[in-house]
Each structure stands twice: as C-alpha cells, then as structure tokens.
Amino acid sequence: MTLELFRAVFGWSAIINMALLLWWFLIIMYARDWVYQLHNKFYDISQEHFNLLHYAGIMFYKIAIWLLFIVPYMALRIAG
C-alpha cells in the first residue's frame, strides 16, 4: 500500500463522516420532534435527556472524526 492510497482513504473517510455528521445535525435541528417521537416509542426518555444524548453523541462523533481521520490525513500530507 502506498502513502497516496492511505491519504486517499483517510481523506474520503473524513469527507463521508463529516457528511454523516452534517446529516445528523440537520435532522436534529429541523426534525427534532419527529425523531423524539420515534425514539420515545421505544424508550421512555424525556426531552432533556434526548437533547443531551444527541448533543453528546454529535460532540463525540466530531472528536472521533478529527482524531481518527482528519489528523492522520494532515500528518500524511505533511510527511509526504
């Protein structure tokens, strides 16, 4: 495997994951009630806990994208 292939994999993985993060954010912003009702059918959860779980999930996912894809991509760009 070449350095260029690793760069491409990390770069495209970062782009795909950022698109999923943006999709998640937009769904929560504009369809919050529908998503809450869907989750509330399966789990007895309050609105506050729902908001907290999604906020923490989005934050964790964003940090994971940076640590697992963007930082290695930037390191490979610098090293190459």
Q: For 43-76, what is each residue's pLDDT tens digit?
A: 999 999 999 999 999 999 999 999 999 999 999 9
Q: What is the pTM of this model?
A: 0.87
DSSP structure string for 24-44: HHHHHHHSHHHHHHHHHHHS-
Q: How far is CA 72 from CA 1, 53, 79, in A?
A: 16, 28, 10
Q: For 21-30, what is each residue's pLDDT tens digit?
A: 999 999 999 9
| Dist CA 6 CA 47 (whole Å) | 42
Domain boundaries, the chain: 3-79
- pLDDT for the residue numbered 50: 95
